[in-house]
Structure 1
Amino acid sequence: MQPHTQNWTQVTEFVMVGFAGVHEARLLFFILFLTMYLFTLMENLAIIIVVSLDHRLWRPMYFFLTHLSCLEIWYTSVTVPKMLTGFTGVNGGKKISFAGCLSQLFIFTFLGATECFLLAAMAYDRYVAICMPLRYGALVSWGTCIRLAAACWLVGFLTPIFPMYLMSQLTFCGPNIVNHFFCDATPLLALSCSDVTLNETAHFLVSLAVLLVSSTVIIVSYGNIVWTLLHIRSVAERRKAFSTCVAHLTVVSLFYGTLFFMYVRTKVMASSVNFNKVVSVFYSIVTPMLNPLIYSLRNKEVKGALGRAFSKSWKGQWEAGGKSQFSCFRYLKGSR
């Protein structure tokens, strides 16, 4: 925090440094992040389309999966396109207005909180399916799924409102250089010339509340799942029941492992700007790209649906091509 003086002017825009240390290799990084972004979009769109078209997947678990895929698309789209413009060297590519910066931070926080609650809802779905299979239809009906998904989005949207309001009341009077590739709370608070104690406390408590509430639901759900599996005598049935949780458990471990690591890291790591950027790249770009792969590779039903979708597509193209060739052959034969 810097002392405020009347001679300084209010900052109206910020300049994001991004990955300034890789200037000579910026084309390589541009291609790398663009490829990852496009790959993320295609993967998640494929899951949304396949689940929507295949009636075998019209079940609560895949209903939540489509919401997660929609969220991942928006989650990466909030930060990656702006980051890519910074690599191009276009004038204004690294600049962002004060309102745009706060909007980016709001949406990013909103989507991150929503993902935490969605993963918790998916854990609850697996808990009821394995621990109370006879009551699954009643406890996890379509009405319940819609209400749970709506609650996740609503609570996620409400999460950043108070911290963002406090942020909007701060005075930024210079410098305006954000040492990050997107508008994150920590580098922004470091630039304010106001007292940021209340802001830091609010951001910390809100983030901690989201993590604790969602992770508690997940831990309790999987604790009951493990307890139930231990009482199943048949090894085959135990393995079959656990296989329905593997993909979700892997995604949860990857996502929450990164988030909790951000909170328990040492002061030396916390003070390293480059280290913070690497961790941010992991949970904002790499994880959304890996999640669809995990669900498609570790879930037989999703793999089967993807296989059927591609086989129908290839079959349709083959039949269309065959009819076209047959028509052409008949035309040539008739002309003779």
Structure 2
Amino acid sequence: MNPQTHPETNPATIDPLAEVVGLLQPAVRFTKIVGAAGRWGVRRPDTGQPSYCAVLAGQCRMTLQGEAPLLLQPGDFVLVPATREFSMASLETPGERDFATPPSFPRPGEARLGDHDAPVDVRFLIGHCVFDAPDAALLVSLLPRYVHVRGEARLATLVALLDDEARSDRPAREVVMARLLEVLLIEALRSNSETGASPGLVRGLLDARLAAALRRIHEAPARAWTVAELAQEAALSRSAFFERFARAVGVAPMEYLLAWRMALAKDLLRRGGCAIAQVAERVGYSSASTFSVAFARHIGVPPARYANATRAGAEPVAQAASA
């Protein structure tokens, strides 16, 4: 999805969630089927990378660092946009020896936990992916800490397709997997409508009034928005809008607008084809110099340096704050 300043049109046609996921550039790292029996447990370290789990049969328990344990049932799907330390375990509380027991690998792409000789009583698909966008941390900060979805047939279908493609050797395999994962991420995030969602874009979009303002920001990021104008779009008073937005999204309205403009600018600079002045105009700055100052303050390097480094395949190192 190519970011751009959108023409003035119906805000309902703009999908902020799809834009954020598109900019994240998700790619599959690996996926595998895990079967387990008896008492078992496995711990995984903090990677900061996105991961997901889909339960195919049986029940197990998943505990994310800082969160209450999740009881997972068949058909459940868990998405963690930035993985912290977590564990998965049998319902019967495992001991430290169970966590220390290594898995076996009966065939490529499959692992066994617990009693390797007993019939499997839980099966799940687990996968790790990467967000290739250099500003992934900024975009991930707009998403919930985790999403737990139950009973969504569409997700089950997407997971099955992703698993099948991961095991294949068909032409354009990586392209297909990236597209499937992009749809899977959007489907998981928008399915989180019950919401215990932590502050972020998803929670903001679940509030109809805030969603109207968020769509207007994404529809016309170059517009010189004020809090009062966005409050009017949300049909709220200025103070009520500001407080409601900050509570739901996790940042103030103008902070969100700035973060989105910078994400768009970074993408335009990476792709090339636009002079600095054109990028400045497309993300709402009156001049290249004003944009350059704002970009360097927010990103840590001037836009020209950022563009040259990313086109050369390197991530630019931030300068000192005086840059």
Query: What TM-score, normalized by structure 1, do the two folds share?
Result: 0.23
More helix by share: 1
Larger Rg: 1
Q: Which has the higher contact order (CA 8 A, sep 6+)?
A: 1
More strand by share: 2
Query: What TM-score, normalized by structure 2, do the two folds share?
Result: 0.23
